[in-house]
Amino acid sequence: MHKLAQSLGLVGFLVLGLSGCGSTPEKLQPAPLGSPATVLDAAQVWTAKIGESAAPLAPVVVGGRVFVASAKGNVAALDAETGRDIWRVSLNAELGAGVGADGQSAAVITRDNDLVTLRDGREVWRIRLPARSFTAPLVAGGRVFVLMADRSVGAYDGSTGARLWTQSRPSEPLVLGQGGVLLAVGNTLVAGLSARMTGLDPSNGNVQWQALLASSRGTNEVERLVDLVGSVSREGESVCARAFGAAVGCVDTSRGATIWSKVAKGSNGVSGDATRVFATESDGSVQAWQRDNGEAAWRVDRLKFRDLTAPKAVGRAVVIGDANGNVHVLSREDGSDMARFTTDGSAILGAPVVSDQVLIVQTQKGGVYAWRPR
């Protein structure tokens, strides 16, 4: 169920929060899981602890390191091969977004709106943002980019924290309390601003292009929310994303043009490969579309009502977590079962991540789990 979380006097809007990884109009019971398939044989290779966590916090992998964070302010860089700490620090502040990293530096955002950067486990600088943010910062090119909940974008010097520029747009009274779209594509900063994928000049924030993925419809402000959310799938110049509760689509970032957009009723991000785009819907169905034209490839319903995470496409598989700590491995060709792994019984946070051949997830109870194919 959707709920209005709080009024933020600082920027004058309401936040719409999500309970669980997905949402359904009523609490429907999932079908029992059968015995795990054994098409893919994998072994758990390590586990680690970071502390209890909550969305939108999620792990990120860069350069053989796994960056994780807890709700209470623990941040760590782990060796993706072994799970051992490279560094670990406690910020003594509750976190609202993260982690963003470039392999050396990391950045998180506290619930008090502080943007904090870290290097080798030491705090480099901390500055107060003008608005809340639920999106992991983007650390790239010696700068830290932030997408704020009022749909403004800011750039900060990675060494000093000095503000370089801010791109603002007219704010809407209601925003989503979950991570949005923010990534680098070549020399372009790509951000989700409402239902538009927007290309910005990273040096000054000037808008270079905008591509619409969904149109706002509905009879009230909640139903009209169509912000771009969650993880995206990038293949070269093609970036595919989710418009909250409305659509999944792909954009050619070299032209700033929408390639296709299809109706889809989900609230999590997407993943994909060179031929297909994958997503989980709010009812727990899993769908695949052809990447070039958006035609439906397959759909499976056996995981319905399990509050699924966004998927992660890796090799011949699509990997998805659920609210009970299960990690489901499906075939990318037809969605058939390949394997299922278990964790600590708490919800998987964010999409699974991969480093080389190691599959990694983080749980709400603070566990970090890794598997490798045998």
What is the Cα–Cα distance from 159 to 128, expressed in whole angstroms? 16
Report the predicted TM-score, pTM, of the whole model to 2 decimal places.
0.92
In this predicted model, which residue has the larger pLDDT, 4 or 68?
A: 68
Confirm if 272 and 312 have CB atoms less than 8 A apart: no
Residue with tokens 């957009």: 261
- pLDDT, mean over the chain: 92
pLDDT at 35: 87
In this predicted model, which residue has the larger pLDDT, 217 or 71?
A: 71
pLDDT at 81 over 90: yes
pLDDT at 16 over 90: no
Please give the average per-residue pLDDT across 59-82, as a whole number.
98
Whether the CA torsion 163, 166, 172, 174 is positive or negative: it is: negative
What is the Cα–Cα distance from 112 to 92, expressed in whole angstroms? 12
pLDDT at 274: 97
| Non-local CB neighbours of 76 within 8 Å, separated by 6+ positions | 48, 50, 67, 68, 69, 85, 86, 87, 88, 89
pLDDT at 17: 55
pLDDT at 174: 78
Please give the average per-residue pLDDT across 25-33, as a whole number.
80
Please give the average per-residue pLDDT across 152-169, as a whole number.
96
In tens, the pLDDT along 231-251 reads: 999 999 999 999 999 999 999
In this predicted model, which residue has the larger pLDDT, 112 or 18?
A: 112
pLDDT at 12: 42
pLDDT at 11 over 50: no
Three-class secondary structure assignment of the chain: CEEEEEEECCCCEEEEEECCCCCCCCCCCCCCCCCCCCCCCEEEEEEEECCCCCCCCCCEEECCEEEEECCCCEEEEEECCCCCEEEEEECCCCEEEEEEECCCEEEEEECCCEEEEEECCEEEEEEECCCCCCCCCEEECCEEEEECCCCCEEEEECCCCCEEEEECCCCCCEEECCCCCEEEECCEEEEEECCEEEEECCCCCCEEEEEECCCCCCCCCCCCCCCEEEEEEEECCEEEEEECCCEEEEEECCCCEEEEEEECCCCCCEEECCCEEEEECCCCCEEEEECCCCCEEEEECCCCCCCCCCCEEECCEEEEECCCCEEEEEECCCCCEEEEEECCCCCECCCCEEECCEEEEEECCCEEEEEEEC
CATH architecture of 1-50+267-374: 7 Propeller (2.130)
pLDDT at 281 over 70: yes
Confirm if 136 and 179 have CB atoms less than 8 A apart: yes
pLDDT at 177: 87
For the chain, the first-to-last Cα distance in angstroms comes to: 40
The confidence band for 222, taking pLDDT boundaries of 50, 70 and 90, is confident
pLDDT at 100 over 80: yes
pLDDT at 85: 98
The confidence band for 21, taking pLDDT boundaries of 50, 70 and 90, is very low
Please give the average per-residue pLDDT across 187-193, as a whole number.
97
In tens, the pLDDT along 102-157 reads: 999 999 999 999 999 999 999 999 999 999 999 999 999 999 999 999 999 999 99
The confidence band for 13, taking pLDDT boundaries of 50, 70 and 90, is very low
In this predicted model, which residue has the larger pLDDT, 3 or 213?
A: 213
% the chain with pLDDT above 90: 83
